[in-house]
Structure 1
Amino acid sequence: MTSSADRLRRLRRLLTLLFTVLNAAGLLVLAWLFVAQDREHRELRMDAELKLVTAAAARLLQYHGDTVITAFLGQDQIDTSCPEFAVLPARTGGFEPHFSQRDCAPVDPGSLQWLAREATTSGRFVEGYVPGTSNGLIRVVAQPFLSPGGQYVGAIVAASDATAELAGHRGVVLWVVGGCVLLVGVVGVTGHVLSGRAIRPAVAALEQQEVLLAETAHDLRTPVAALRALAETAWRNPADRPDLLPRTVRLAARMGSIIDDLLVRARLAAGVEKLAIQPVWLDQLVAGVVEETSAPDAQVTVTTAPTKVNADPGLVQRAVGNLLDNALRHGRQPGSPAIVHITVAGGRVTVADHGPGIDASVAEETFDRFTSGGGSSGLGLSIVRWTAQAHGGFLRVYNAEEGGAIFELEFPVAQ
């Protein structure tokens, strides 16, 4: 079965893909506009140069009646310069065609004649490309001209080799494509990082929730089974009910404590627990916890010195109670009553027992993973550590030389 955290991770990949696709689409539009603008700019530059030639040639044309005279074109420097041009009649026999002397752009004369007819027929400039005789593209501009009678009788067609400009445009296209690929990669990585940062708190919360649910089922399974066994025994044996009822009450109280601890830890882990920080007399609080804790078969001693800390009294009381409960349940030798020594001084609560001790190599795991070497759920110790961290303090654990575990819980001292 897929967990909620796994579904969130898939959502992260989907968000990354969506972020990348949307940005890639925007980049493609911008790239297309840039490439189109570059091509248009190059064509306008070539057309402007060609129109300068056609305009100069048009000024050199002379007329004798409706007859076009091109003799003066051969006397001007444009006739031997690039771009090359041709003065062509709209129809055969209109006047003698004139071609400039310099061959700058190898182009088929038939293509030039077709452009001249198009310009003359439409009465406007015609721009475009025609294939050159050497497999390149030639940029051409055809300008129609009027006879003295007001009729379009021919056109001046200027031609320029577009190979260099088109090669430059292809270079721009390659740079744009490469840049887009690089930017899409950067956008993808950025989207992955941003989506991870956005979803990480939700993933962590879901993972904590799943762990919490699993541990809740684990911690309550044994007491629920024991409670059911007690209830069934009391139902089948009415005479034993006076003995079984106190055990049932204690078991129910233990279940309530487990549930309370689970809720506190969940709220701390989710960051929704509001700490009511205030000056607290730690020695008095610890003494009150010991006095309220029922331990008829245990020996508990308390040594305190006045010490004031900045803390949430409710959470500190629960943390100290969990340490004491842990020592009473696991801090004893087989067949012997529990012996617990509690010392309070300098913002520090030290709880020492006479039990089998704790393996220091698994102490961190004990505080974080709800397990302990003594067979308990370890949830109480986890809450103790969370409480210490929430207050800017710490929890230490080590074994005494003479045996037994020692827990030190420290809080910031009030100034």
Structure 2
Amino acid sequence: MSRSAADRLRRLRWGLTALFTAINAVGLVAFAWFMISEDADQGTKRIDADLLRVTSSISRLVIFDETVNFSLVTTDRLDRECPQFAILPGGTAGFQPHLSQRSCVPMNTEVLDMLAAGAVRGRTTMAGYQQGTGGELVQFRAEPLLSRTGKPFAAVVAVQDTGPERDAHTRFVLLVIGGCVLLVGALGFAGHVLSGRSIRPAAAALQQQEVLLAETAHDLRTPVAALRALAETAMTNPDQRADLLPRTVRLAARMGGIIDDLLVRARLAAGVEQLSFQPVWLDQLVVGVVEDTEPDGAQVTVTAAPTKVNADPALVQRAVGNLLNNALRYGRQPGAAAIVHITVAGGTVTVADHGPGIDTSLTEDAFDRFTSTGGSSGLGLSIVRWVAESHGGTLSVYNADEGGAIFELRFPVSAS
């Protein structure tokens, strides 16, 4: 079963939302990955910088003549701070090793001596990771100490626990992930709004198409039924064909005019065409509409004073015709003919009937498309209001004290 155009538009909107969100999510994930990797590298570099500061400073404080002298080391504040360090012979001529006064992470002395031995043998600085006695991941730096002859005689090994940096990195990762989730959600919402705006013209065009079809069916239903009745009467009563033919022609012309007006309305709503404003004698236009409308046994009276307005005559004619047809159809008591009185004065067309009236609490519903309160044709009145508003006028309705509904269609009066 094929989906409706509205369903396809909704699916398109969700598809655009998903595409927009996915594209931004991929970019955010890549950016988050870069930020997390960079933060991990920066943590490693911060520890390495601290270890370098300790080993380079301590190596300058060690005095080596005949023996190794740690007097300057023991008085320096580095001996009491983290990272901790150790000065070890590393397999050379023995001397009493020196361990810094503060133990920041528990380390096996044999492991430290092994690191010192590696730096002495290789005559180069060593850096990497080892495991503390408590299972901690420890970053180390082993720097050889050289005598005046350039021969390594010991090594400074500095170590620091990577736990605090890893904890800080974990918090940063959680913060980045949480931020990405929030941003993806915000971007998804923004994408949904933007996709809605992007398909709004298509939705508006679809709505206009549906309205056009509904209005066409509404306005053509009555003349088509009358045309069929005339044709059936002419077939069964050949002697009346001469009288029925002119009425048939008028109905066909009316149907053509309705179709033309609806097409103009559609083009105006789509912005393809503009209203054709021109000076119009409203009283003469209303009289013409009444004369061209088949009363079907109803009593229609017109009281008109000369009134000139700037308007599109075709649209105003249609609006007045809708009000008149509405009154003829609904403005009657059961079993009685309709009685309609039309007044034209001061740019206002007033159509009063003697029907059951209209529920004033449902007045706005009567002006909505595709709705009817039982006392009016909802779609016809929506067209009338659209014509009024497009001319800068208004349409209002209320009940008369003696019964019946009164519709007032107002247009700005022409100054000329």
Report if TM-score (shorter chain) is over 0.5.
yes
Whole-angstrom distance in 2 between the partners of 1:32 and 1:376: 65
Please show how residues 141-156 of structure 1 align to structure 2 within 5 Å.
Answer: 141-144=141-144, 155-156=155-156
Amino acid at match of 1:100: L
The answer on whether the counterparts of 1:261 and 1:379 sit within 8 Å (CA) in structure 2 is no
Aligned to 2:158: 158
From 69, 72, 86, the equivalent of 1:72 is 69
What is the CA RMSD across the aligned residues, in angstroms? 4.2
Counterpart in the other structure of 2:209: 209
Query: Aligned in 2, Cα 1:176/1:191: closer, same or farther, shift over 3 Å?
Result: same
CA shift for structure 1 position 197:
3.8
CA shift in 2, pair 1:2/1:374, >3 Å: same
Matches within 5 A, 1:16-415: 16-60=17-61, 71-73=68-70, 75-77=72-74, 80-82=79-81, 83-87=83-87, 93-96=91-94, 98-102=97-101, 103-109=103-109, 111-112=111-112, 115=115, 125-144=125-144, 155-214=155-214, 216-217=216-217, 220=220, 242=242, 245-246=245-246, 248-267=248-267, 269-270=269-270, 272=272, 274-277=274-277, 280-287=280-287, 289-290=289-290, 300-328=300-328, 331=331, 339-355=339-355, 357-358=357-358, 360=360, 363-370=363-370, 372=372, 379-414=379-414
Question: Per-residue deviation at 1:394?
Answer: 1.6
SS of the counterpart of 1:302?
Answer: strand
Question: Which residue identity does 1:189 align to in structure 2?
Answer: F
Q: In structure 2, do the counterparts of structure 1 residues 272 and 374 end up closer, same or farther at CA, with 3 Å as the change threshold?
A: farther
Please give the alpha-carbon distance, in whole angstroms, between the structure 1 residues aligned to 2:297 and 2:191: 62
CA contact (8 A) 2:356 2:375 kept: no
Tell me, which stretches of 5 or more residues in structure 2 are unaligned? none
SS in 2 for 1:104: coil
3-state SS, counterpart of residue 76 of structure 1? helix
The answer as to whether partners of 1:126 and 1:143 remain within 8 angstroms in 2 is yes
Cα deviation for residue 409 of structure 1 reads: 0.1
Distance 2:280 2:249 in 1: 33
- Measured in 1, the distance between the counterparts of 2:86 and 2:231 equals 113
Q: Distance in 2 between matches of 1:70 and 1:270?
A: 99
- Partners of 2:290 and 2:47 lie apart in 1 by 96
Partners of 1:249 and 1:229 lie apart in 2 by 13
Per-residue deviation at 1:114? 6.0
Per the alignment, in what secondary structure is the counterpart of residue 344 of structure 2? strand
Q: Provide the rounded CA distance (Å) in 2 between the counterparts of 1:118 and 1:303.
A: 117
Alpha-carbon separation, structure 1, partners of 2:211 and 2:98: 89
Q: CA deviation at 1:381?
A: 2.8
Contact 2:61 2:70 in 1 (8 A): yes
Give the secondary-structure state (helix, strand or coil) at the position aligned to 1:29: helix
- TM-score w.r.t. the length of structure 2 is 0.77
Q: Which amino acid aligns with 2:137?
A: L
Q: Report the Cα distance in structure 2 between the residues aligned to 1:224 and 1:153, rounded to whole angstroms.
A: 115
Length, aligned pairs only: 409
Under a length normalisation based on structure 1, what TM-score does the superposition of the two structures give? Answer: 0.77
Percent sequence identity over aligned pairs: 62
Q: Over residues 141-171 of structure 1, what are the superposed CA-to-partner deviations in whole Å (9 max), with x where a residue is unaligned? A: 2335667777878754311223323322222
Q: CA deviation at 1:59?
A: 3.0
Deviation of the 1:259 alpha carbon:
2.5
SS in 2 for 1:398: strand
Moved more, 192-201 or 165-174: 192-201
Equivalent-residue separation in structure 1 for 2:289 and 2:376 (angstroms): 21
Which structure 1 residue ranges, 5 or more long, are not aligned? none
**Equivalents in 2 of 1:294, 1:236: separation in Å?**
22
Q: Is the 8 A contact 1:74 1:100 kept in 2?
A: no
